[in-house]
Structure 1
């Protein structure tokens, strides 16, 4: 048996013991003040209501309805027969459990209806037994049940909201990881395949080398995908950081383009999330150049550290070209082929992912054409301290 089940059984056993004591004490008090012939009715009503409270988890709605119906009937009986006021203290305790459980678990409208019905039973007790302190106690029990049920309901809603926010953040993280890995490495494979087609057509004897390059790129993509799976499985994965920028630039230059890194910072003092974000921004920017700026020949990567921020700027030298046709998406205008800037000036998933990462850290991202020609991506990342 699972721990929650054991806890529920123990809680219900304790609640049953409380009910038994309440019914017995009530019967003793009524027998002493009203006479021995007056306690059985109130005890029977209390036993029925308390028994329904103990099985409330099977059906919170109908157990609450049945309990309220028994209590309402008891109120009507005491209105015309000389008996102690109803609902009695023990029955009110059982009703409080039923009403509180309904308010906590049922849909809003149904829960409100049960709460109002409970208040009506309490009001009926006041009318049936004016001047008695028992209806006052019933009202206090009803109020306590309402407060406790509503409080637990709000707490559950808050937990669900937090859980959903966490799940949404995890889904976004997964989407970013998949985009970062798949887009970068698949782009490399596509470029290698395009180069292989040209080489095979002009120099068939060099086809083996091109195919070997495709195989290497595919192996790297497979290893990177496995790394993403490891990130999802491990509780504390090793983040990709600034120390791998050299590998990233070498991979970019292997396709015949130049990349120059200008580092004016102290990466050793960066927090892990800053180091990882710098790497991913550079990777996404280089991937965009490879995919959407075919005429760019050189890229400059500048990383500068200030008192409380790190600035990453990636610029290419692609010339402006005429725009082709566009389609509108939820992220803005996306061109089929080249855009009116340099071919990758679009708000795709990569830029959205980068912006979300930076906003989560309190940073900013800007991307746009440079004066004259080329494209620039500029990111500012807070480091949380001084140099």
Structure 2
């Protein structure tokens, strides 16, 4: 999906990278602490086994924590290390590093995997925790049990947040779908009116100048083709993306929208002349600007100005909405919220791209490109 998804995913990848870096530091510190503690109390090379199996599980938790097989392998390593350490009279397992890595694996599985896999891995983690009480020391067993309980609680909480987020997004899409159904009526009426006018003109031409009848028939054919193309695009949105936008008569409605805006001053630039766009394109441009200004009012009230620039060339319409609000980390995450979910799907269903992201220095930018149908480029 394409450019807006990439823009949103950049932030997700940065967050994931920060989490990975943090976990890496914590795992390294836990392994070093384990080695130092065992070396100081047991002496010799007793620390090697615990650090080796702990490092293996830490690597799994760091690199593959969202995979079911990684959790299974991690639990298997832990389950094997416990009796080996007991039989060989080695320091008790799981070590602090391994207990922490197991907690990450179990928590990630509960959050992201299917219910069946989540329950299975949580049960496996419980089995390891219970097994530690029989053969490991109280400290190791208690630490592993506490890690398992924390992983289950945190995993369930994050899973519930994800479910809620998806539910809200689906509700947004359903609401947009209802709006699009209303728009479909307006689009059909627009094109059918054109066909009726051409048909009426054809009857008049037939009586007065039969030689000119072909031109009227060509007009009917062109209007009919346009109606079919527009309806296919809009019905495609209903079927594939569940998003919509209210119909608007034309680009001039943007001036009225900007005049009603109660936030920072807005500078509006529109294409020269009176461009004629397909209704589904016109309404999408309107909704992009509307949603962008709504986001400015909600999250960038301290901006001193907003620029709305709508331009057109032979192939596409470009919409850019830019504000100059001072940076606020909490706002950056919210500016790409549910209001843009429908717009992203809708723009891409029309063959366009939508990107929303913070600007370098200050402010936020929304950039959309909508290709014009071939008939609009002639």
Q: TM-score range by the shorter chain?
A: 0.5 to 0.7
What are the equivalent positions in structure 2 for 1:305-324 lying under 5 Å apart?
none
Q: What is the aligned counterpart of 1:64 among 61, 64, 71?
A: 71
Unaligned runs of 5+ in 2: 1-8, 231-274, 292-378
Relative to structure 1, the CA distance from residue 140 to residue 225 in structure 2 (aligned partners, 3 Å threshold; closer, same or farther) is: same
Query: Counterparts of 1:128 and 1:121 in 2: how far apart (Å)?
Result: 11
Query: 1:137 maps to which residue?
Result: 143
What does residue range 1-387 of structure 1 map to in structure 2 within 5 Å?
Answer: 2-57=10-65, 60-129=67-136, 132-182=138-188, 184-189=189-194, 191-192=196-197, 195=200, 204=208, 226-234=278-286, 235-236=288-289
RMSD, aligned α-carbons: 3.7
Distance 2:19 2:191 in 1: 57
Following the alignment from structure 1 to structure 2, what is the Cα–Cα distance between the partners of residues 87 and 93? 9
Unaligned runs of 5+ in 1: 239-387
Residue 381 of structure 1 corresponds to which residue in structure 2? none
- Deviation at 1:50? 0.8
Deviation at 1:88, TM superposition (A): 1.4
Q: 1:5 to 1:181 in 2, by over 3 A?
A: closer
- Kindly indicate whether the alpha-carbon contact (under 8 Å) linking 1:96 and 1:141 is maintained by their aligned counterparts in 2: yes
**SS of residue in 2 equivalent to 1:11:** helix
Structure 1, residues 178-209: CA drift from partner, whole Å, max 9, x if none?
21232x234434554665576678x5479999
CA distance in 2, matches of 1:118, 1:21: 23
Distance in 1, matches of 2:12 and 2:73, equals: 27
Looking at structure 1, the residues matched to 204 and 15 of structure 2 have their Cα atoms a distance apart, in angstroms, of: 71
Higher RCO, Cα 8 Å, sep 6+: 2
CA contact (8 A) 1:230 1:237 kept: no
2:136, 2:153 → 1: CA distance? 25
| Residues 198 and 219 in structure 2, CA contact (< 8 A), matched pair in contact too | no
Higher mean displacement: 39-48 or 229-238: 229-238
Equivalent residues, number: 234
Q: Distance in 2 between matches of 1:198 and 1:2?
A: 59
How many Å apart are 1:81 and its aligned residue? 2.8
Secondary structure (helix, strand or coil) at the match of 1:83 reads: coil
Rg bigger for which structure?
1
Residues 68 and 118, structure 1, Cα contact 8 Å, conserved in 2:
yes
d(CA) in 2 for partners of 1:5, 1:82 = 44
CA distance in 1, matches of 2:187, 2:126: 60
Give, in angstroms, the shift of residue 126 of structure 1. 0.6
Q: What SS does the corresponding residue of 2:278 show, helix, strand or coil?
A: helix
Instruction: Write out per-residue CA displacement over residues 50-97 of structure 1, whole angstroms, 9 at most, x where no aligned residue.
Output: 11111115x611111111111000112133232222111111001111
1:166 Cα deviation from its structure 2 partner: 1.8
| 1:321-345 deviations in Å (ceiling 9; x for gaps) | xxxxxxxxxxxxxxxxxxxxxxxxx
Q: TM-score, normalised by structure 2?
A: 0.53
Residue 174 of structure 1, CA deviation: 2.1
